[in-house]
């Protein structure tokens, strides 16, 4: 019997998840279908339970439902608990299990695909939202010399750092970044979605090896253009993270990990 999976979000028409998981199923010879569901702002929980009750085996969760998915679950991973959000659910034995693969997907893209191990690096992350929450545990476990979170709302960043309570995790206001240098700069703000630039200067890129934009498919965003103009040798958007987190969910559901490079190459939009 063919197993059923889906992604749910609002809006959902732009999603690449059915394509990605369809390709994964093809190359791993898995008997499954993967669809998409336009989520209801006031009926999300009923939609998830309905999909499960109709035989669904798992779901990916995208904006704006990651927090609701976390709250709906019967059991939650440590990563999901720190993020207080879930991007993947699994249905087993009548229970809903929540995971968050955003952070580990991002880490794998940076370390494996972009060949930039975090060990010993000075890392700057712009933003303190759900994506950053999900990334902190995997990032800190990779052993950076220092990981700095910069955010407009400094109290939000401080609260997050206090929850994590790690000696290599620091918080900074944007204006206090002057004079600091980083090997890796990650834009996890929503600025690029509206064509804006986070409030940073070119100096943060002085010694950067890589500038990474979580948004994907936007081409050369203002953040990436600033990094490029600063001479950063490598820039990347979040398409690799998208595919890698999908591969993590696929393995969690199916017990087999698909190759990701062909899918990343297929979805990559030139940064120009």
Domains assigned to the chain: 3-100+240-267 (3.40.50.10860), 103-237 (3.40.50.720)
Interval 69-96: pLDDT, tens = 999 999 999 889 988 889 999 999 999 9
Phi, psi of 124 (to 5 degrees): -115, 125
Contact by Cβ (8 Å): 170, 180: no
Convert 93-147 into a string of H (helix), E (strand) and C (coil). CCEEEEECCHHHHHHHHHHHHCCCCCCCCEEEEECCCHHHHHHHHHHHHCCCCEE
d(CA 207, CA 1): 54
Active-site residue, 66 included: yes
Instruction: Indicate if the pLDDT at residue 272 is higher than 80.
Output: no
* pLDDT tens-place string over residues 130-169: 788 888 989 999 999 999 999 999 999 999 899 888 999 9
Report pLDDT digits (tens) over 219-263: 999 999 999 999 999 999 999 999 999 999 999 999 999 999 999
The whole-angstrom separation of Cα 257 and Cα 30 is 11
Q: 66, 84, 156, 218: which is the annotated catalytic residue?
A: 66
């Amino acid at each position: 019997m063919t197993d059923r999976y889906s992604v749910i979000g609002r809006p959902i028409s732009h999603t690449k998840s059915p394509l990605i998981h369809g390709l994964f199923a093809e190359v791993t010879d898995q008997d499954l279908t993967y669809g998409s569901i336009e989520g209801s702002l006031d009926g999300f929980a009923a939609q998830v339970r309905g999909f499960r009750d109709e035989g669904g085996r798992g779901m990916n969760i995208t904006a704006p439902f990651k927090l609701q998915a976390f709250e709906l679950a019967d059991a939650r991973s440590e990563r999901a608990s720190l993020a207080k959000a879930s991007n993947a659910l699994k249905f087993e034995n009548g229970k809903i299990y929540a995971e968050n693969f955003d952070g580990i997907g991002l880490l794998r893209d940076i370390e494996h695909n972009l060949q930039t191990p975090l060990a010993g690096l000075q890392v700057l992350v712009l933003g303190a939202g759900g994506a950053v929450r999900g990334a902190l545990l995997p990032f800190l476990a990779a052993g950076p010399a220092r990981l700095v979170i910069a955010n407009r709302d400094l109290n939000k960043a401080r609260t997050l750092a206090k929850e994590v309570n790690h000696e290599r995790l620091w918080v900074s206001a944007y204006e206090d970044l002057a004079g600091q240098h980083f090997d890796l700069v990650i834009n996890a703000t929503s600025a690029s979605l509206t064509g804006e630039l986070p409030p940073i200067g070119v100096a943060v890129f002085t010694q950067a090896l890589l500038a990474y934009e979580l948004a994907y498919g936007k081409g050369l965003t203002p953040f990436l253009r600033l990094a490029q103009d600063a001479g950063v040798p490598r820039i990347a958007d979040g398409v690799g993270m998208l595919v890698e987190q999908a591969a993590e969910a696929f393995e969690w559901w199916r017990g087999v990990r698909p190759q990701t490079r062909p899918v990343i190459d297929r979805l990559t939009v030139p940064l120009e």
